[in-house]
Structure 1
Amino acid sequence: MKIAILGTRGIPNYYGGFEQFAEYFSVYLAEQGHEVYCYNSHNHKFQESSFHGVHILHQYDPEYKLGTFGQFIYDYNCIKDSRKRNFDIILQLGYTSSSIWFFLLPKKSLIITNMDGLEWKRSKYSWPVKQFLKFAEWLAAKTSDVLVSDSIGIQKLLEKNYKKTSTYIAYGALPFYKPDETILQHYHLEKERYNMIMARFEPENNLDMVLDGVALQHDSDPTPILVIGNHQTKYGVYLKNKFKAYSNIRFVGAIYDITTLNNLRYFSKLYFHGHSVGGTNPSLLEAMASKALIAAHNNDFNKGVLQENALYFSSALEVKKILANTKKSDNLQFITNNYNAIVHEFNWTKINAAYLQLFEQTLERFKNRK
């Protein structure tokens, strides 16, 4: 098959979840003998024309100058380029800035769209933007040939809201095998004597709630908590000012090195996951793969992944109680169950094979159109 992947900033991954998936899946397809193309931003760090057998197509991306609006132009450039390439299948990762260009997609290519999370629920967006995102979601749901959901919750909502069936294929993570305690020295930490939370600094990720709980517990237990993520944002400045009196709350910035992150998660006492919007979150799976003890915001998306193998919170007071009453040694079965879920369910080999099978089935189903 001749396959294109759109909707990411490019591979190898220097940004986020879809980029990581695009890297793993595209290389897998190339290894299986397929002709694979991945669209990259023109200013991506990787400027070569191929990556482990995957063809790289750089397209002009003005996001660095125009902000979010630049994504629409980048997606337009990618879709316009795809019209001249005669792809069998175009895999779109997300829909936020691409679905409005649906009428430009090549008519003979089969369009498979991973529907991502519920972008219009994110509190950072204004009402008009949320209405546009709802419209974009509707367009993607109605105009794609095949839909993919990476969580059961998203699959149910697509059926409920649009009467559209979608194929559930989870996101993945790599099991963490080689802990290295020396990494803690750089952060002046001791094994299982710190907690952590990692997220983009956005209100729906509930950093505020978690840190409020830490502040409530501070007088009786000043255990350090690492707050990992880019805090050079308006919301980040707000949080740093709000909690500046608490020396145990450490804003350490973004960390992209996966080995460092895996070790920090592995040796932590508690890993807080506050995400409340979207499908299967990559950082949650990585925490499971790193054998962290997870305390997660109580919502259907997180519970769909963790099941009963986590501590759940819905308020700062519940965070305080978890901090006061939890020993990692008492919850080793949670850790084992989550790690086994990564090995047996949320693993890249299984996920890549599921996507390839879907591609083959889609090509057979629509063979008359080709």
Structure 2
Amino acid sequence: MRIAMIGTRGVPAHYGGFETAIEEIGSRLAARGEEVIVFCRPVEGEPRPKTYRGMQLIWLPALKKRSLETLSHTALSVLHPGLKGVDAAIVFNAANAPFLPILKMRGIPVATHVDGLEWRRSKWGAVGRRYYRTMESYAVRSSNAIIADAPGIADYYRHEFGASSKMIAYGAPHLSDIGHDRLGDLGLAPDAYHLVVARFEPENHVLEIVQGYVASGATLPLVVVGSAPYSDEYSAAITQAADDRVRLLGGVWDQELLDQLYFNAATYLHGHSVGGTNPSLLRAAGAGTPTIAFDSVFNRGVIGETGWYFRTPAEVADRINMAEADETQRLHFGVALKARAAAYDWDQVADDYLQLCRDLARGYRAPRVSGRRSRPGWNDEPASSALNDHDAMVVAHPSPDLYGSDRVLLETLSSFAASGQRVVLTLPESGPLVSEAVERGVDVQIRRSPILRKSALTLGGAVTLLRETIQAWGPSARLLRESSARTLLVNTVTIPLWLLVGKRTG
């Protein structure tokens, strides 16, 4: 197949999640014999190779203005003669939606990777935010398929527009035996610092993390990797909030050093909030680094209950104090998170993209929608607005796997969803059931739910169940209290908590 990837800075990947995804996916597809064309933006002083890891690179200029850089480059890309004979195109970023009709006029079917909720970013003014929201609508009307990299994003597009999505997450790099020889140059030692890696933007909560750290009793330094390409004022606020325990390293583009920083950190603090499966979070997960994350449905989809969460500086301080005080819990979270990261496999991601491109070439098109927002008010709070639908059916299920009984459940819920019934499926963690359910129109939420296993009959198992029940009490009580759904179905292994919480709250 001849596949084009459009709408990013291109490869080699030096900047963000899109570029990393293109490099990982494109190189794998090229290695399998597919012809992959990537449109790239030149960087002054950097080489412009014609090929990279088997991919063909086409370099085109872009206007050096934040609001026009991506659009100007994509405009040239969709008109370029190099697209002749392309079987399918992947366009990254819903902001590029105005150019989708040009691809379709050239006979090229297109899938749009919509990214996160860009209109929430404060760097965009009122006009920019309105533009992004309008382009979301245009993308669902003009694309043959929409790609969502997280259940929360698929949930958003389904609620807002009634649009179905292809759920394809990113992969996680699986880091092991990385070493720590580069840390000495920075005056750092393994397991003796906390780490933040993020662009300095308000939605990534770097300032709140630094404020919370400064207010904590932490004895380990906080290492902050990142910069603010468009916001000197925000960078200044972070610098002003820091004390002498905070190490501001700026941007680090040396991947070997960056991997060592992830792998050897005592904790990784992740403040990203505007949506999608975040590559920085997956890198920490793949390194098995205990994580303290901003509490959103997107981050919970990756971490589940194998980490700590925060929303305020005070909660950052509390979680850091907890992490430093309880090494056993910290190590447990790290091992559990690394195990979860195994589900994010780049080879599988490449398989999914190739299958989608083949489907597009064969004429696949998602069911058409008008593009009008039919369900305003969606949000990514841990208690989703999906639960506030009085006619919804909420199903609490203990396993994200797809074995015999899970498939029966999936088929049953799919039939309800197909008949127009609102179905909300809560699961304790991500897994194969999540993507299948999302594609079939079922709302999915990742929520803690203690599971009654056979091991609970042992003393250790009973203690574990009791601890899980205590930890899950608050989230489960909030779900029951905030849900106005008419029906709540509970799998037998989750009954103990739900009966207790239901009796207490109802």
Shorter-chain TM-score: what band?
over 0.9
Residue 9 (structure 2) aligns with:
9
| Aligned-residue offset at 1:258 | 2.1
2-side partners of 1:93 and 1:123: how far apart? Answer: 21
Residue 330 (structure 1) aligns with:
329
| Aligned-residue offset at 1:43 | 3.7
Q: Is the 8 A contact 1:170 1:346 kept in 2?
A: yes
2-side partners of 1:298 and 1:190: how far apart? Answer: 29
Which amino acid is the alignment partner of residue 50 of structure 1?
A: T
Q: In the comparison of the two structures, how many residue pairs are matched?
A: 359
The root-mean-square deviation of aligned C-alpha atoms, in Å, is: 1.8
Greater shift after overlay, 292-301 or 20-29? 20-29
Q: Does 1:75 pair with 2:74? A: yes
Matches within 5 A, 1:221-240: 221-231=218-228, 233-240=232-239
Residue 22 (structure 2) aligns with:
22
| Aligned-residue offset at 1:285 | 0.1
Distance change (3 Å), C-alpha of 1:82 and 1:91 = farther
Q: Is the 8 A contact 2:39 2:57 kept in 1?
A: yes
Structure 1: 5+ residue runs without aligned partners? none
Q: Is the 8 A contact 1:273 1:295 kept in 2?
A: yes
Secondary structure of 2:339's match?
Answer: helix
Secondary structure of 1:105's match?
Answer: helix
Residue 54 (structure 2) aligns with:
53
Residue 194 (structure 1) aligns with:
193
Q: Is the 8 A contact 2:7 2:73 kept in 1?
A: no
2-side partners of 1:52 and 1:83: how far apart? Answer: 19
| Aligned-residue offset at 1:18 | 0.7
Matches within 5 A, 1:300-319: 300-319=297-316
| Aligned-residue offset at 1:339 | 1.3
Larger radius of gyration: 2
Residue 373 (structure 2) aligns with:
none
Which amino acid is the alignment partner of residue 70 of structure 1?
A: E
Deviations 1:47-92 (A, max 9, x none): 12122322111112222xx333132211100011158513110111
Q: Is the 8 A contact 1:116 1:150 kept in 2?
A: yes
1-side partners of 2:200 and 2:194: how far apart? Answer: 18
Which amino acid is the alignment partner of residue 361 of structure 1?
A: D
Q: Does 1:136 pair with 2:135? A: yes
Secondary structure of 1:113's match?
Answer: strand
Secondary structure of 1:200's match?
Answer: coil
Residue 400 (structure 2) aligns with:
none
Matches within 5 A, 1:347-358: 347-358=345-356
1-side partners of 2:148 and 2:187: how far apart? Answer: 41
1-side partners of 2:364 and 2:301: how far apart? Answer: 32
Q: Is the 8 A contact 1:83 1:106 kept in 2?
A: no
Q: TM-score, normalised by structure 1?
A: 0.92
Q: Is the 8 A contact 1:12 1:46 kept in 2?
A: no
| Aligned-residue offset at 1:269 | 1.4
State the identity %. 26
Residue 249 (structure 2) aligns with:
252
Secondary structure of 1:196's match?
Answer: strand
1-side partners of 2:147 and 2:154: how far apart? Answer: 8
2-side partners of 1:37 and 1:337: how far apart? Answer: 38
Distance change (3 Å), C-alpha of 1:241 and 1:19 = same
| Aligned-residue offset at 1:292 | 0.7
Q: Does 1:295 pair with 2:292? A: yes
Which amino acid is the alignment partner of residue 288 of structure 1?
A: A
Residue 417 (structure 2) aligns with:
none
Q: Is the 8 A contact 2:211 2:241 kept in 1?
A: no
Structure 2: 5+ residue runs without aligned partners? 366-506
Q: Is the 8 A contact 1:43 1:61 kept in 2?
A: no
Secondary structure of 1:48's match?
Answer: coil
> Which ranges of 4 or more aligned residues in structure 1 deviate by more than 6 Å?
none
